[in-house]
Structure 1
Amino acid sequence: MGVIGCTLWMSSCKQAPEAQTSANYAIMKVTTADKELSTSYSATIRGRQDIDIYPQVSGTIERLCVSEGEKVRKGQLLFIIDQVPYKAALTTALANVEAAKAGLATAELAYTSTKELYVQKVVSQYNLKTAENNYLTAKAQLSQAQAQEVSARNNLSYTEVKSPSDGVVGALPFRVGALVSPGIQQPLTTVSDNSDMYVYFSMTENQLLSLTRQYGSMDEALKNMPEVELRLNDNSIYDEHGIIESISGVIDRQTGTVVARAVFPNESRLLHSGASGNVVIPSVYKDCIVIPQGATVQMQDKTIAYKVVDGKAVSTLISVAGINDGREYVVLDGLKAGDEIISEGAGLIREGTVVK
Structure 2
Amino acid sequence: MRARGPIGVFTAVALVAGAGAFFYSRNVVPSTAQTPAAPPPAVTVAAPLVQKLVDYDEFTGRFEPTATVEIRPRVSGYITEINFTDGQVVEAGQTLFVIDQRPYETALAQAEATLAGARAQLTFAEADAKRSQELVRSSNIAVATHEQRVQQRQAADANLRAAEAALKRARLDLDFTEVRSPLRGRVSNRRIDLGNLVTGDGASTVLTNVVAQDNLYFTFDISEGDLRARRRAPGSAARDGHGMKVDARQDGEASWTQSGVLDFLDNRLRPGSGTIRARATFPNPDGALTPGQFGRIRLPRGDAYEAVLIPESAVMNDQYNKVALVVDDGNVVRQRQIKLGPAQRGGLIIVREGLKANERVVINGLMQAKPNQPVRPQPGSIEQNDVPAS
Same fold (TM over 0.5): yes
Which residue in the other structure is 2:50 paired with? 32
Which of 275, 279, 285 aligns to 1:256? It is 275
Q: How does 1:155-166 map to 2 (within 5 A)?
A: 155-166=173-184
Which residue in the other structure is 2:350 paired with? 330
Which of 291, 296, 299 aligns to 1:279? It is 296
- In the alignment, does 2:59 pair up with 1:59? no
AA aligned opposite 1:135? R
- Checking the alignment, whether the CA contact within 8 Å between 1:93 and 1:152 is kept in structure 2 is yes
Which of 114, 117, 137 aligns to 1:99? It is 117
The C-alpha deviation readout for 1:243-299, integer Å capped at 9, x for no partner, is 2311533353234133232414342x343333x132253869664112466346686
**Aligned-residue RMSD, C-alpha:** 4.4
- Checking the alignment, whether the CA contact within 8 Å between 1:197 and 1:264 is kept in structure 2 is yes
Which of 182, 189, 204 aligns to 1:171? It is 189
Which residue in the other structure is 1:241 paired with? 257
- In the alignment, does 2:204 pair up with 1:188? no
Counterpart Cα distance in 2 of 1:266 and 1:296 = 48
> After the TM superposition, which of the residue ranges 145-154 and 214-223 deviates more from structure 2?
214-223
Q: Which has the larger radius of gyration?
A: 2
> After the TM superposition, which of the residue ranges 302-311 and 152-161 deviates more from structure 2?
302-311
Query: Residues 335 and 69 (structure 1 numbering): CA distance in 2 closer, same or farther, change over 3 Å?
Result: same
Unaligned runs of 5+ in 1: 1-17, 347-352
Which residue in the other structure is 2:220 paired with? 201
How far residue 219 of structure 1 moved from its aligned partner, in angstroms, is 4.7
- Checking the alignment, whether the CA contact within 8 Å between 1:229 and 1:237 is kept in structure 2 is no
Counterpart Cα distance in 2 of 1:312 and 1:168 = 64
Counterpart Cα distance in 2 of 1:172 and 1:314 = 69
Query: Residues 248 and 41 (structure 1 numbering): CA distance in 2 closer, same or farther, change over 3 Å?
Result: same
Q: How does 1:38-57 map to 2 (within 5 A)?
A: 41-57=59-75
Q: Secondary structure at the match of 1:89?
A: helix
How far residue 306 of structure 1 moved from its aligned partner, in angstroms, is 8.1
How far residue 41 of structure 1 moved from its aligned partner, in angstroms, is 3.5
Counterpart Cα distance in 2 of 1:172 and 1:197 = 23
Counterpart Cα distance in 1 of 2:175 and 2:318 = 72
Counterpart Cα distance in 2 of 1:298 and 1:119 = 114
TM-score, with structure 1 as normaliser: 0.72
Which of 221, 231, 236 aligns to 1:216? It is 236
- In the alignment, does 2:166 pair up with 1:145? no
How far residue 71 of structure 1 moved from its aligned partner, in angstroms, is 2.5
Query: Residues 58 and 49 (structure 1 numbering): CA distance in 2 closer, same or farther, change over 3 Å?
Result: same
Q: How does 1:81-120 map to 2 (within 5 A)?
A: 81-120=99-138
Query: Residues 225 and 205 (structure 1 numbering): CA distance in 2 closer, same or farther, change over 3 Å?
Result: farther
TM-score, with structure 2 as normaliser: 0.67
Which residue in the other structure is 2:88 paired with? 70
How far residue 157 of structure 1 moved from its aligned partner, in angstroms, is 0.5
AA aligned opposite 2:183? S
- Checking the alignment, whether the CA contact within 8 Å between 1:291 and 1:331 is kept in structure 2 is yes
AA aligned opposite 1:243? S
The C-alpha deviation readout for 1:176-209, integer Å capped at 9, x for no partner, is 1222234346532222332343333333344445
Counterpart Cα distance in 1 of 2:129 and 2:241 = 75
Counterpart Cα distance in 1 of 2:131 and 2:49 = 106
- Checking the alignment, whether the CA contact within 8 Å between 1:31 and 1:338 is kept in structure 2 is no
How far residue 342 of structure 1 moved from its aligned partner, in angstroms, is 8.0
Counterpart Cα distance in 1 of 2:161 and 2:336 = 90
> After the TM superposition, which of the residue ranges 169-178 and 210-219 deviates more from structure 2?
210-219
- Checking the alignment, whether the CA contact within 8 Å between 1:167 and 1:194 is kept in structure 2 is yes
How far residue 146 of structure 1 moved from its aligned partner, in angstroms, is 0.8
The C-alpha deviation readout for 1:302-353, integer Å capped at 9, x for no partner, is 98878888968677674x44x4369754234454312467889x9xxxxxx7
Counterpart Cα distance in 2 of 1:99 and 1:272 = 56
Query: Residues 257 and 324 (structure 1 numbering): CA distance in 2 closer, same or farther, change over 3 Å?
Result: farther
Q: Secondary structure at the match of 1:190?
A: strand
Query: Residues 355 and 342 (structure 1 numbering): CA distance in 2 closer, same or farther, change over 3 Å?
Result: farther
AA aligned opposite 2:294? G
- Checking the alignment, whether the CA contact within 8 Å between 1:61 and 1:175 is kept in structure 2 is yes
Counterpart Cα distance in 2 of 1:99 and 1:222 = 58
The C-alpha deviation readout for 1:77-110, integer Å capped at 9, x for no partner, is 1110111221222122112212211221222222
AA aligned opposite 1:109? A
- In the alignment, does 2:272 pair up with 1:231? no
- Checking the alignment, whether the CA contact within 8 Å between 2:344 and 2:350 is kept in structure 1 is no
Q: Which structure: greater helix fraction?
A: 1
- Checking the alignment, whether the CA contact within 8 Å between 1:59 and 1:179 is kept in structure 2 is yes
